[in-house]
Amino acid sequence: MALCLALPASAHVWKTDGNMSVLLHVNPNDDPIAGKPADLWLQVTDTTNRFNAKNCQCSVSISEGGKTLLSAPLSLWNGGPSIFAFSVPFTFPDPAVYGIVVTGAPEGTSKFQNFRVQYNLRVERNPDDPSADSGPEFYLIMAGLAVFIICTVYLWYREVRPQ
């Protein structure tokens, strides 16, 4: 139970539309802070292996409460053939649930399937929240503390348990 409290929630969820799947990652730590820039990273895969990121009209839109806050094309990241990086950091203005829609259509000679996937991303942290500036070190310390508590309880239980 303590371990669950220590680890951040992950937005690493695959969304699928036919043959196409998209994985969303949001920096920092899949737990963006309202009012601070966040980076969106998207990985697109195709079970038919026809997808070519260089020939994709891919875009992302972000909305909240029915209002579109951003609509922009995705640019190819140099790190791989199917990984996209949102070219400019996006600042989620307030704690809220944001809709993120990723779309793609082939252009040129590409023959992959059009796709559209949607994520709902909950932004809960405020910049004045003490955990807002907590990097991975905070989570590692908390995970270590949780493991220590679990081990201590286990060893105590072994000592006091009737034989």
Residues 24 and 135: their CA atoms lie apart, in Å, by 20
CB-CB contact of 30 with 86 (8 Å): no
Count Cβ atoms below 10 Å from residue 79 Cβ, excluding itself. Answer: 9
Who's near 40: CB < 8 A, 6+ residues apart? 24, 25, 26, 60, 85, 86, 90, 100
Instruction: Compute, in degrees rounded to 10, the torsion defined by CA atoms 127, 3, 39, 113.
Output: -140
In a domain, 4, yes or no: no
pLDDT at 78: 65
One domain, residues 139 and 67: no
pLDDT exceeding 70 applies to what percent of the chain?
A: 67
How many domains is the chain built from?
2
**Contact between residue 126 and residue 95 where contact means Cβ atoms under 8 Å apart:** yes
Least confident of 2-16, 53-67, 83-97, 145-159: 2-16
Q: What is the CATH number of the domain that holds 62?
A: 2.60.40.10
pLDDT at 7: 35
Please state the pTM of the whole predicted model.
Answer: 0.70
Q: Are residues 61 and 118 in the same domain?
A: yes
| Greater model confidence, 154 or 138 | 154
Is residue 106 included in any domain, yes or no? yes
Is residue 5 a part of any domain in this protein?
no
119 and 146 in a single domain? The answer is no
Nearest to 92 by CA among 159, 40, 18, 161: 40
- Which residue would you say has higher pLDDT here, 24 or 159? 24
Q: What is the pLDDT of residue 5?
A: 36
- Predicted confidence at residue 52, as pLDDT, reads 82
Domain that holds residue 76: 10-126
Based on the domain organization, do 40 and 103 belong to the same domain?
Answer: yes
Look at residue 99 and tell me if it is in a domain.
yes
Q: Is residue 67 part of a domain?
A: yes
- Give me 99's structure tokens: 């809709």
Q: Spell out the residues 6+ positions from residue 84 whose beta carbon is closer than 8 angstroms to its own.
A: 41, 42, 43, 44, 53, 58, 74, 75, 76, 77
